[in-house]
Amino acid sequence: MNLAAAPSVEARIAAGAHGFSYRSGVLAAEEVPLAEIAAAVATPLYCYATAGLLGQYQALRDAFAGRAVQICYALKANDNLAVVRTFAAAGAGADIVSVGELHRALAAGVPPGRIVFSGVGKTTAEMATALAAGIHQFNVESLPELETLAAVAGAAGTRAPVVIRINPDVDAGTHDKIATGRKQDKFGVDWTAAPAIFARAAALASIDLVGIAVHIGSQLTSLAPYTAAFGRVAEMVRTLRGQGIRIDRLDLGGGLGVRYSDETPLAPAAYARLIAATVGELGCALTIEPGRFLVANSGVLLTRVILVKESAGRRFVIVDAGMNDLIRPALYGAHHTILPVVAPRQDAVWTPADVVGPVCESGDIFARDRPLPPVAADDLLVLLSAGAYSSVMASRYNSRPPAPDVQVHGRAFAVTRRRLSHAEMLAAETLPPWLGPESRP
């Protein structure tokens, strides 16, 4: 197969990466050649471009220009402290789903008044901590959660600001594992049960019912599901107001898709216009919770080829990053564009390769039959679009320390989450007395 006519590496970077470009034939994050970072930090590593992060944030801000829409960055997409701080410094709030993310958001400088707490299973301890921190709101997803939060707030002698997340029963048309707004999904309050739960919330003394939340899924690339969901939210606002229930805030969730291969992402302006058209006239304060959109294409996973193995007519490119570093291909069949850090010669022939990690699992495959130019041991490759749901899902499987995070800003770069040493990875483990040094079996 001769794929020499494949788009140039420069064109692919331009289409799918923010803040990265080939400079004199070597891929750079902003002004820093990736080879320089690899030499200093060792591979595998994640690298984020500040200009890309801020560019996406600004594009969304600009789309809502003139409208007071609070952007609460969904930390679960990438909770690296420096990434969160980058957005916080630009004015973003935070959407959190655990008390661990609360600590990170606060440590990164997000004001408590800009933090919203989502998630289907908040514990009482998490509720108490978030209440004491004075967060903006709890996005409550069920009646039992509402009752528990009321008890926690009552015991603390305070009132919890609450929006109730409704499940609009809308299919976001995305991957099954990242759809959240259909009635069979575990998220939100069932549409038909919602009015009774709102009425209950309005009656609870320790609950300050302030609004409605919705989040129908991730990686949305069409407007139709948003139109349907926000239309249902507007309908619910009118119903509830008709019952004398105050609704001042709408939290419209996240989900804006990005380009991984050939998707056409929604234009922020079209998304903003849709929001204005569906809920803009209700007089509510608006919040959105983008995660993936802000980070996905501003990060890459940088990896080095360990060896190339020809076997049974296949070309296996075995790299030093594994599924413990980046699980998206194994988990969702996700596509990550893979490019060499050193641009291949114009006449290089691209032939299919299986790019795989060293983890002892057949599922440790980043790409199958992927056209690649000739590569050899020690060459550097990047997996693009690895800024979201990537380093956050890393594990220590095979006793592999997860790839560290590096952030670039202009000509500067810094390790923002270092690689754990093997001793550190063992540090949390202890031998029980019957196996310890004292034991005499």
Catalytic residues: 360
Site string for ligand PLP, 165-204 (x = CB under 6 A): ----------------------------------------
Residues 115-134 that bind ligand PLP (CB under 6 A): 118
103, 126 Cβ separation under 8 angstroms: no
126, 105 Cβ separation under 8 angstroms: no
Shortest spacing between CB 219 and ligand PLP, in angstroms: 6
Q: Tell me: does residue 357 bind ligand PLP (CB under 6 A).
A: no
163, 139 Cβ separation under 8 angstroms: yes
Shortest spacing between CB 256 and ligand PLP, in angstroms: 6
Cβ distance to ligand PLP smaller for residue 135 or 359 = 135
Q: Which two tokens stand for residue 229?
A: 């969901």
Beta bridge partners of 29: 20, 32
Shortest spacing between CB 165 and ligand PLP, in angstroms: 7
CA distances from 117 to 72, 181, 184, 186, 247 (A): 10, 18, 22, 17, 18
Q: Tell me: does residue 215 bind ligand PLP (CB under 6 A).
A: yes
Shortest spacing between CB 254 and ligand PLP, in angstroms: 3
Cβ distance to ligand PLP smaller for residue 85 or 215 = 215
Shortest spacing between CB 346 and ligand PLP, in angstroms: 37
Cβ distance to ligand PLP smaller for residue 138 or 413 = 138
Cβ distance to ligand PLP smaller for residue 165 or 400 = 165
Residues 217-236 that bind ligand PLP (CB under 6 A): 218
Site string for ligand PLP, 290-319 (x = CB under 6 A): xxxx--------------------------
Cβ distance to ligand PLP smaller for residue 237 or 294 = 294
Cβ distance to ligand PLP smaller for residue 220 or 317 = 220
Shortest spacing between CB 385 and ligand PLP, in angstroms: 13
Shortest spacing between CB 429 and ligand PLP, in angstroms: 31
Shortest spacing between CB 163 and ligand PLP, in angstroms: 11
Exposed (0-12), middle (13-18) or buried (19+): which is 105, by Cβ within 10 Å? buried
Cβ distance to ligand PLP smaller for residue 253 or 329 = 253
Residues 31-90 that bind ligand PLP (CB under 6 A): 74, 76-77
Site string for ligand PLP, 238-267 (x = CB under 6 A): ---------------xxxx-----------
Cβ distance to ligand PLP smaller for residue 38 or 53 = 53
The C-alpha atoms of residue 147 and residue 248 are separated, in whole angstroms, by 21
Which residues of this protein are in contact with ligand PLP, per CB under 6 A?
Answer: 74, 76-77, 95, 118, 215, 218, 253-256, 289-293
